[in-house]
Amino acid sequence: MSARDAILGRIRGNLGRDGTGESTADERLARHQVGPRPKRTELSHPDQVDLFSTMAEEVDATVARVRNLGEVPEAVVEYLIAHNLPARLVVAPDGRLDDVPWESKPTLEVHRGVADETDAVSVTPAFAGIAETGTVMATSGKGTPTTLNFLPETHVIVLREREVVGTYEDGWRRLREQAAASGRAGTMPRTVNFITGPSRTADIAMTLYLGAHGPRRLHIILVGDDDG
Amino acid sequence: MPSIPDTADPRRDGTRRVGLFVTCLVDLFRPTVGFAAVKLLKHAGCVVEIPATQTCCGQPAYNSGARSEAQAIARQVVAAFDGFDWVVAPSGSCAGMLHRHYPDLLSDDAEWGPRAVALAGRARELMSFLVDVCGVTSVEASFRGIAAYHDSCSSLREMGVRDQPRELLTGISGLELREVPEAEACCGFGGSFSVKYGPISTDIVSRKTDALASVKPDMVVGGDLGCLMNIAGKMRRDGTGIAVRHAAELLADMTEDAAIGAPERAEV
Amino acid sequence: MQTSQAFRENAVRAIADDELRAALDKVRQGFGGARRQAAVDRLPEFEALRDAARDIKNHAIAFLDIYLERFEQRVVESGGVVHWCETPGEARDLVLRLCKEVDARTVTKGKTMIAEEIGLNPFLESHGIAPIETDLGEYIIQLADEPPSHIIAPAIHKTKDQVADLFHEHHQQYGKTQRLDDPGKLVDEARQVLRRKYIEADVGITGANFLVAETGSTVIVTNEGNGDLTQTLPKRHIVLATPEKIVPTLEDATTLLRVLARSATGQEFSVYTTFSTGPRRPDDLDGPEGFHVIILDNGRSRLVGSPFQDMLRCIKCGTCLFHCPVYASIGGHAYGSVYQGPMGAVLTPNLIGLPTTRHLPNASSLCGRCEAVCPVRIPIPRMLRHLREKGLGERLVPLRERWAVAAWAWIAQRPRVYRLWARFLVGVLRTIAGRSGRVRRLPLSRGWTGGRDFPAPQGETFMDLWRRAGRGKT
């Protein structure tokens, strides 16, 4: 008998369940039952955006708010100058960032693609912002390689206000809707990252330190929905 | 664990018939606590009886894994305390044994299981009984000094005893009650654990006595004699000079005798 | 490395270790209470979440076989492979084979307790493959050649100076010759050293906090981001998991995640929570080409339907360790097992048997704080008692202790004998103590009197005094 059959058989034998197990489990899988969610997220959308921002800052992310994508390059430059960072960006080759007018800031050197060891600053879009804990939800895909979220020392996330939702469950719902809309119902991207602040460790003498392996700095540019 | 009904059943004249579960430690080491408990219960309007067939709640056997012995002792206690409105112990640990563990221990016993559940519903720790059931809000006692209250694990986590002793103690005239850091931490007693794993138990109680001493009390009080003997023994060995007493002694104003583990007055 | 038999000796040594003491005090003050409580206080729904988390795990276990099959099916649909192993030996051989298939020379590892359970590192090394721990704590103890001392904070017993010495010794080969002693600089140095390792590694091995049956996803939670670099950069991602990690849906995983970080580190949410589903997709720009999930049983399926089934709910948050008075005194190594503290005291005897581990369930004051803080409400004290019962039944307890319990229980069932015995005991203790109020040394009780006095009885038993005062007089 294979290990698989032995393990599953032993579990089945020890459970001693009746024959209705399959339908119960499959029904449970289809239902996406939600558990208790924090009441603090039950807010109007503008207040959820504020909550997102507050919670993100609490975990050492920084948040800048701009009105539209046109203002993103300026916000990036300000941030780079304030932190004395190089003006060379690796930007996710994703459609959501195609309309950012990088050329408006000629000092910025922008290349689009995956990150390598030499990239110090990455700019990525987000799938959603979760107000509950100031968490950014990011998915991998053809324009959003996962390494952009982890290799560079500074990670800049461009998050649309309309992408901010209350809870993680809201994020899952959107992800399922999006998969269904693009004909991939029921599938997941290779990677879904929930990012809550910059990388940290307290493994040396319980002293908290930012930037263990992932980004040392996480900067979120919250972009208003005024695309006029 | 089966649910435990709350079976408050006062007499028609309103008096409560209470069976006092003295506990083996009080019987052996600290009779004053038993008398203090009787005094407090009577003062709260209860009729108090002390069944002569009681010995111990069986916890040492239960915690050592001697389940059948613990079951036999549990049946004896259940029988001894049949018929009382309430069963009260001056110990969260022993009360917890009756209240939380007997139903589990005797759950497979068709005859004794239901009786154990009934007993569990009537079993209470002394101070919480005085406050929650008898509605006692003040005591006639005085003590000049600073006291630190030690929460026993069983009182805190099995019997829901936290505010009641504080409420009663702060009613003692002249007494200032101070909160102790890391109050929810165990003192390291744990019954036979304290002997079998002595070095660990001793280390745990050192942290506890340090925490207690850090608020500079004249006296440490608590509701469980096991913890108190552990704490008193450590403090005496270290020569801290802090007195240790069961809270019932203070509440009943019965503090003439030497504190736990302290020299008798004549020697001083 | 299994030294649970020597638990008592280990404990005595640990208590005498001043550096360990300092580290443990820091841990207790940092994590043991205040930090978790603050996180809990911020979330009024926390207790309801604990109930929900418990119910989800119970449900998942009640349908474990089916959810495992669904999980496997979804992994395969997304292009991955699921492997099943009964024993640590099978799992080691499988990992080796999966590494050799891609000619791996170095393997990066995220934090996984399963790898500790199967002794993976020495095994890979003996076959010429270099495993590199990337979680900073794991990396430190790998350099020190020690096992983890805490399931979520493996190097928590190490002081800053000890880490500085280790880095100074082991990082010379990378041209880092200066001994650093600032924690931040030490982290930076490890970051630089490990950065190259991620990129060079051929295989990345991680654990899994959860397996999601609905989607075939594996979930890891880290604060450093090491797990993500580990699983994204190499050609192959191997996930080491055990059957009970299964949860039905993404929503269920979410509920558990809400209690996990708050319990573990007092954070609202860990920095990186990552759901991985299959290998990289055809149009993905990065990610592993191979995705292999190993489900190792190692005795867990035996717990299903047993009195220890509740233990399968454990989400390895480590909060029972942080809140345990015994752990606070002796640290993790004294347990001599992969899993320490209260959860380890239940799990270890169930995985490797009681004969070598009987101390673990006995060395507890049963204070119940572990259960009080457990995010999935595992009745740990009840299971410790049950293991004690088993140990007694299997005659693993020394004869003296067995006799003591039996004799005492015999007396306690005979009230008249008990009264005589009580009178005698009080008399003896009074004779030893005199008027001093204490006994400084007591035969057979050195465990107590070695560090404490034993308070003397007041004089007579309560029952004698009561009878004399007029029995029945109310």
CA-CA distances (angstroms) from residue C33 to C43, C156, C321, C324? 16, 17, 11, 10
Which of C273, C293, C267 is closest to C220 using CA atoms?
C273
What are the pLDDT digits (tens) for B84-105?
A: 999 999 999 999 999 999 999 9
Instruction: Determine, yes or no, domain membership for B161.
Output: yes
Model pLDDT, residue C444:
82
Q: Which of C56, C153, C232 sits opposite A147 (nearest CB)?
A: C232
**DSSP secondary structure, C290-318, as one string:** EEEEEEE-TTHHHHTTSTTGGGGG-----
For B149, the 3-state DSSP assignment is strand
The pLDDT value recorded for residue B2 is 41
C272 and A199 within 8 Å at the Cβ level: the answer is: yes
CATH level 3 topology of C58-298: Rossmann fold (3.40.50)
Q: Chain C residue with minimal CA distance to B188?
A: C365
Closest among B53, B70, B15 to B191, alpha carbons compared = B70
- Closest residue by Cα to residue B169 from B150, B154, B189, B183: B150
Q: What is the pLDDT of residue A205?
A: 83
Question: Cβ(B27)–Cβ(C467) under 8 Å?
Answer: no
C162 in contact with A, Cβ within 8 Å? no
Q: Is C80 helix (H, G, I), strand (E, B) or coil?
A: coil
- The answer to whether C462 contacts B22, with C-beta atoms less than 8 Å apart, is yes
CATH code (residue B98) = 3.40.50
Quote the minimal CA–CA distance from A136 to chain C in Å: 10
Q: Which residue has the tokens 């038999």?
A: C5
Q: Among all chains, which residue has been given the structure tokens 């899994």?
A: C208
Residue C296: strand pairing partners: C85
Tokens standing for residue C403: 């006799």
Q: Are C393 and B230 an interchain contact pair (Cβ–Cβ within 8 Å)?
A: no
Q: Within this chain, do residues B175 and B111 fall inside the same structural domain, yes or no?
A: no
Q: Which residue do the tokens 């209690």 mark?
A: C259
Host domain of residue A115:
39-223
B86 Cβ partners below 8 Å, 6+ apart?
B8, B16, B17, B18, B19, B46, B122, B123, B124, B129, B133
What residue type is assigned to position B220 of the chain? V
Domain count, chain B: 2
Query: Of A196-200, B121-125, C193-197, where does mean pLDDT reach its minimum?
Result: C193-197
Last residue of a domain, one of B71, B106, B132: B132
Name the most confidently modeled range: A114-118, B6-10, C169-173: C169-173
Residues 6+ apart with CB under 8 A from A190: A140, A146, C276, C277, C278, C279, C280, C281, C284, C287
Question: Domain check: are B96 and B208 in the same one?
Answer: no
Which H or E run includes C2?
Answer: none
CA pair distance B188, A215, nearest whole angstrom: 44
The closest CB to that of A14, out of C268, C283, C305, belongs to C305
Instruction: Answer whether residue A207 shows pLDDT above 60.
Output: yes
Q: How far is C143 from chain B (nearest CA, A)?
A: 30
Q: Please state, in angstroms and rounded to a whole number, the distance separating the CA atoms of residues A68 and A66.
A: 6
Q: Which value, in Å, is the radius of gyration of the alpha carbons in chain C?
A: 26
E strands in C224-359: 236-241, 246-247, 272-276, 290-296
Burial-class residue C185 by CB neighbours within 10 Å (0-12, 13-18, 19+): middle
Q: Measured between CB atoms, does B185 come within 8 Å of chain C? A: yes
pLDDT level of residue B4 (50, 70, 90 thresholds): very low
**Which of C8, C392, C452, C458 to mutate against chain B (most B CBs within 10 Å)?**
C452
Residue of A nearest to C110 (CA): A213
Residue whose C-alpha is closest to residue C376's, from C31, C41, C58, C8:
C58
Using a CB-CB distance cutoff of 8 angstroms, which residues of chain C are in contact with residue A169?
Answer: 251, 254
Q: In what order do the strands lie in the sheet with C236-241?
A: C81-85, C290-296, C236-241, C203-206, C106-109, C130-133
Enter the DSSP assignment of A228.
-
- pLDDT of the residue at C29: 84
B8 contact partners, CB below 8 Å, separation of at least 6: B85, B86, B133
- We report the CATH number of the domain holding residue A171 as 3.40.50.10420
Q: Report the Cα B42 to chain-centroid distance in Å.
A: 18
Band the pLDDT of A117: cuts 50, 70, 90: confident
Do B229 and B156 lie in one domain? The reply is yes
Query: Nearest chain A Cα to C227, which residue?
Result: A213
Residue B3 covered by a domain: no
User: What number of other Cβ atoms are within 10 A of residue B104's Cβ?
Assistant: 18
Q: How far is B160 from chain C (nearest CA, A)?
A: 12
Which two tokens mark C241? 């998991």
Burial class (CB in 10 A: 0-12, 13-18, 19+), B12: exposed
**How far does B168 lie from chain C, in Å, by closest CA?**
23
Spatial CA neighbour of A15 closest among C64, C114, B187, C254: C64
CA distance A48 to chain C (A): 17
Chains A and B share 3 or more Cβ pairs within 8 Å: no
Q: One digit per residue, pLDDT tens: chain C, 474 residues? A: 578 899 999 999 999 999 999 999 988 888 777 889 999 999 999 999 999 999 999 999 999 999 999 999 999 999 999 999 999 999 999 999 999 999 999 999 999 999 999 999 999 999 999 999 999 999 999 999 999 999 888 998 998 999 999 999 999 999 999 999 899 999 999 999 999 899 999 999 999 999 999 999 999 999 999 999 999 999 999 999 999 999 999 999 999 999 999 999 999 999 999 999 999 999 999 999 999 999 999 999 999 999 999 999 999 999 999 999 999 999 999 999 999 999 999 999 999 999 999 999 999 999 999 999 999 999 999 999 999 999 999 999 999 999 999 999 999 999 999 999 999 999 999 999 999 999 999 888 999 999 999 999 999 999 999 999 875 444
Write down the pLDDT at residue A18.
80
Say yes or no: B21 and B121 in one domain: yes
Partner-chain contact C155 A37, CB within 8 Å: no
> Would you say residue B4 lies in a domain?
no
Provide the number of CB pairs (under 8 Å) joining chain B to chain C: 244
Record: contact C364-B30, CB cut-off 8 A: no
Whether C115 contacts chain A with CB within 8 A: no
- B154 belongs to a structural domain: yes
Cβ C156–A6 below 8 Å, yes or no?
Answer: no
B123 with B148, same domain? Answer: no
- Interface pTM (ipTM) of the complex? 0.97
* Those residues with Cβ within 8 angstroms of residue C55's Cβ, 6 or more apart along the chain or in another chain: none
Contact C272 A196 (CB under 8 A): yes
Nearest chain B residue to C12, by CA:
B199
**Contact: C363, B49; criterion CB under 8 Å:** no
Total domains in chain A come to 1
- B17–C contact, CB cutoff 8 A: no
User: CATH 3.40.50.10420 in chain C, residues?
Assistant: 58-298
Q: Are residues B142 and B256 in the same domain?
A: yes
What is the phi-psi region of residue C163: left when phi exceeds 0, alpha when psi lies from -120 to 50, beta otherwise? alpha
Domain end point (choices B98, B132, B166):
B132
- Structure tokens of C379? 């009745």
Please compute the mean of the pLDDT values over residues B64-86 and round it to a whole number.
96
Given CB atoms, is A95 within the 8 Å cutoff of chain C? Answer: no
Query: Minimal Cα–Cα distance from C108 to chain A, Å?
Result: 13
Average pLDDT (A103-107) is 95
**Does A18 reside within a domain?**
no
CB contact under 8 A, B262 and C363: no
Question: pLDDT tens digits for B143-199?
Answer: 999 999 999 999 999 999 999 999 999 999 999 999 999 999 999 999 999 999 999
| C 448-467: CB under 8 A from A | none
Q: State the amino acid at position B101 in one-letter form.
A: H
Give how far B48 is from chain C: nearest CA, Å: 6
CA angle at C274 for the pair C92 and A213, rounded to the nearest 5° = 80
Where is pLDDT greater, at B11 or B58?
Answer: B58
d(CA C336, CA C10): 8
Q: How far is CA C135 from CA C140, C154, C230, in A?
A: 9, 9, 10
Q: CA–CA separation, C67 vs C69, rounded Å?
A: 5
Both B72 and B169 in one domain: the answer is: no
| Residue A141: inside a domain | yes
What is the four-CA torsion angle of C313, C240, A3, A29, rounded to 10 degrees? 50
A–C interface: beta-carbon pairs under 8 A = 273
Q: Are residues B58 and B74 located together in one domain of the fold?
A: yes
Work out the minimum CA distance from C35 to partner chain B, whole angstroms. Answer: 12
Is there an interface between C and B (3+ Cβ pairs < 8 A)?
A: yes
Helix C64-77 vs helix A3-15: crossing angle, to nearest 10: 150
Whether B1 maps to a domain, the answer reads no
Instruction: Look up residue C240 and give its two tokens.
Output: 């080491």
* Gap between the Cα atoms of A73 and A50, Å rounded: 22
B190 and B147, same structural domain? Answer: yes
C451 and B199: CB-CB below 8 Å? Answer: yes
What whole-number distance in Å separates Cα of residue C38 and Cα of residue C268?
10
**d(C-alpha B23, C-alpha A95), whole Å:** 75
Residues C268 and C261: their CA atoms lie apart, in Å, by 6
Beta bridge partners, B48, equal B18
**Partner C contacted by B260 (CB < 8 A):** yes
Distance CA C464, CA C474 (A): 16
- Write the residue in C325, C409, C454 that is nearest to B204 by C-beta: C325
Report CB contact under 8 Å: C187, A206. Answer: no
- A139 phi/psi in degrees, rounded to 5: -120, 150
Asked whether residue B164 is domain-assigned, the answer is yes
| Residue A224 in contact with partner chain C when CB distance is under 8 A | no
Instruction: Mark yes or no for CB contact A199/C248 under 8 Å.
Output: no
Residues B73, B159, single domain; the answer is no
If you write DSSP's letter for every residue of C189-232 in order, what string do you get?
HHHHHHHHHHHH-SEEEE--SEEETTTTEEEEEESSSHHHHHHH
- Within-domain flag for B45: yes
Expressed as residue numbers, the domain containing B25 is 16-132
